[in-house]
Amino acid sequence: MGLSGVRPPPGFYHRLWTPVITLWYLTWQCLHERHTLENAVIDARRGGADRLCVKGKRLSEALRSKATTSYSDARQRLPLHWVVECFGKMAAALLGLTQGAGEPLPIRLLDGSTKRLRPYGTVPEQFPAHRTKRQRPYWCVARVVVSFCALTGIAAAARIAALPVSEQALAVQLILEQAQRLLYIGDRNFGVWRVVRAAVQSGGHALVRLTEVRARHLLGVHRLPARLDQLLVWSPTRHDQVDGGLLRAPIAGRLLILKTNRRGFRPQSLYLFTTLTDPQAYPPRKLLELYGRRWQVELDFRTIKSSMGMAQSEAKTPDMVRKEFYAGLMAYNLVRGLMALAAEQGACSAPELSFTKIHALLASALTELFMSWMSGTACRNRLEWLLQEAAAAKLPRRRKPRPNELRAQYYKPQSYPKMTRSREQARQLLVNATHKSQWHWVGNLRYNYRESVPRKALLHRQSSGRAHKRAVTGLFRIYRAIRARSSSLRTQ
């Protein structure tokens, strides 16, 4: 498994919740639908992690209390740098399973997103709230950047920071730390000098999309041609930021202007810059196909947020926000690693398999793999069965093309109005209210009918009263008609 080579951090004495067991259950929580501490403790008392314990010390026998306090304290004690190190080791081990099956130059897809946080404790200090039209916004936001493997979708590296830190700065840190010969593909947000320079300086290459303005400045003309494939040197200007560890040196590369013509879509011009200067090995058509694979990163982020439930964090400390982020990516990588192995066995590609089905299979199987009664032979048989089931979990092929859909959605009707202020202000208004029956909520604004009634609130009150009166009157009419009919039948 992914945690087989993980060693506990130095300086930790043996407790019931060892660092390895705590990290496993932190990942286990992200794999299951209900990410609660109570479910983790229930599984631990059932013996779900006895095979990870020290010999002769089973967690299920020693754990007598049903409370989640000890597990919560163990989560807080985990060193953040050790969790990040475990995430990197697991990603490298899973990526090693698919060596030799991909391109000679491994491809990494760069993209960024945000993560919504509750303003608990000291979280707003390190992850400040985003700017909104409100005077005091409620949600805190963290910025994340992830590098995905284009072949398997495994998250190879990741960074999380506060919202003021740009995605370009996080991408530079991520690329310089990996320092491998990789091809990084990014959209216009990463089409800046600092990101390309970090890729070249780490021994790799870059293929990024540029904005039209940046392409004109790079080429030195006011009007760009319709198509172009030209060698040039990208030198930094006084506007380009130079991060720590980057050399302020020019970059040799190619500027390409390509026009895409897809059936049913408008023609679009793409401005690409790449450090792959060999036009024979990488012609414009191949570079266009490589950049087209960048869309897979959007699907990977959708999977992480929707299927894994990582769009929002309920952690109450900044360190726990970061630990849960990396533990969630470790759980995501376990599913992707199983998909990669199943794709090799099923003679297909990993994107052809269903992430949701394999996620459910893995979550159900992991509840018994680390039990004490599972011998080595039984565990291997269970893993082989899991691999066979995952290889059969293929997505259905569409017989008809997908219809065009409007980018809109239906909203579930709500019984309460929309919150337009902070909860502290709303609670204070409720505390200051003398008689709650005197107050009415309309558009999240509270009005006293005895003092001042706005026209909108008055109409709302009158319309609701008229509707109630009409409904009661209709019921009485039906009741009188039934009574009259019954009385006429009796007389006859």
Q: Give whole-number Cα distances, 99 to 39, 326, 412, in Å.
A: 36, 24, 46
Token readout for 187 is 């959209």
Token readout for 372 is 């004490």
112 touches 167 (CB < 8 A): yes
279 touches 229 (CB < 8 A): yes
Terminal alpha carbon distance of the chain: 85
Of 212, 100, 207, 109, whose CA–CA distance to 157 is shortest? 109
* Tens of pLDDT, residue by residue, the chain (492 residues): 445 556 667 666 667 888 888 999 999 999 888 888 998 888 888 887 877 777 667 787 788 888 889 999 999 999 999 999 999 999 999 988 776 555 678 999 999 999 999 999 899 999 998 776 656 778 899 999 999 999 999 999 999 999 999 999 999 999 999 888 999 999 999 999 999 999 999 999 999 999 999 999 998 888 888 888 899 999 988 888 888 888 889 999 999 999 888 777 788 889 999 999 999 999 999 999 999 999 999 999 999 999 899 999 999 999 999 999 999 999 999 999 999 999 888 888 888 899 999 999 988 888 777 766 667 787 788 888 888 888 888 888 877 777 777 878 777 777 777 776 677 777 777 777 654 444 444 444 444 434 444 444 444 444 455 555 566 676 667 767 777 766 665 565
Token readout for 335 is 């599913």
Instruction: Name residue, tokens 């990494």.
Output: 108
Taking the C-alpha atoms of residue 215 and residue 224, their distance in angstroms, rounded to an integer, is: 8
